[in-house]
A = this chain, B = another copy of it.
Amino acid sequence: MSARIFSGEREAAGIDPANRGLAYGDGLFETMRVHRAGVPLWSRHLARLREGARRLRIALPSADFIEARIADAIAGCDAGVLKLLLTRGEGGRGYAPPAAAEPVWLLSRHALPASPAAGLRLHWCEMRLASQPALAGIKHCNRLEQVLARAEAEAAGCDEGLLRGIAGDAIGATSANLLVLHGGRWLTPPVDACGVAGVLRGWLLERGLAEVADLAPDAVESADAVALCNAVRGILPVASLGARAWAPHPAFNELRSGLAMAYPMFAEDRGAA
């Protein structure tokens, strides 16, 4: 992977072994779709990054500087993925965040993931997401739950894993939010105790195209349709969850058409992460 690395607003040569992202996952990230040298949903990515930086008290370089470096990084890129990783910076041994750490952050470009041939096959993970309101919603770098859950899904031969919280309700997939169709309405679980507030989920909620609801496993399995969404892949249909299978549903195409009106790059199925 090639990446550009910055310490505050200066370019850096490499990652210091004392980087706190490496030591403690003390950082945040955003994974973004690149389309015709632009980043759809950028303002939402930036807002989530700012919210994460506020909650973790990580310094954030100026948005102007970040945006200029992103423009450099995606110049000439017609379609791809851009990852921004923001760490608190370097520090000595010990958990205490240094008072004046210079944030170290990285930009890396990646290929757009391959399109799945059909709807996604989902696996109910054994791994549960712990309840931690202090970290819920933001895209921080403490992701061992997702790493282990994704390994479970792969071991089951599935495309993605569906995670439950401690109370048993569905929360989301390892790298996408969950959308569940009931009575003509798309529902998505709350992310105030665990899970990530996906930027595309946020867009759907604000447009009134989805609404937040608690979703017990039964409510997922009895749904008329199920989909996953994230800012890289857009909205993808789910074909199965364990033994439960779904046929394509017209409401899915409607939902994706609604998204494609605003963001044409998501008009068709372009890939699964």
Contacts from A to B (Cβ < 8 Å): 1-3, 5, 14-27, 29, 31, 56-57, 81, 83, 85, 87-88, 90, 92-97, 106, 108, 110, 127-128, 130-132, 134-135, 140-151, 154, 166, 174-175, 273
Distance (whole angstroms) from the CB of A270 to the closest CB of chain B: 15
Q: Is the CB of B93 within 8 A of A146?
A: no
Question: Which one of B93, B108, B130, B148 lies within 8 Å of A130 (CB-CB)?
Answer: B130
Q: Is the CB of A31 within 8 A of B143?
A: no
Number of copies of this kind of chain in the complex: 2
Q: Is the CB of A97 within 8 A of B142?
A: no
Given A15-B15, A17-B15; A144-B25 close (CB under 8 Å) = yes
A145 contacts across to B, CB distance below 8 A: 132, 134-135
Question: What CA separation (Å) do A106 and B174 show in the bound complex?
Answer: 28
Q: Is the CB of B130 within 8 A of A131?
A: yes
Question: What CA separation (Å) do A69 and B21 show in the bound complex?
Answer: 24
Q: Is the CB of A132 within 8 A of B130?
A: yes
Q: Is the CB of A151 within 8 A of B1?
A: no
A128 contacts across to B, CB distance below 8 A: 132, 134
Question: Which one of B17, B108, B142, B166 lies within 8 Å of A5 (CB-CB)?
Answer: B17
In the A-B complex, the 7 residue pairs with the closest CB atoms: A25-B25, A130-B130, A142-B142, A1-B18, A3-B17, A24-B143, A130-B132
Q: Which residue of B lies closest to A146 (CB)?
A: B95
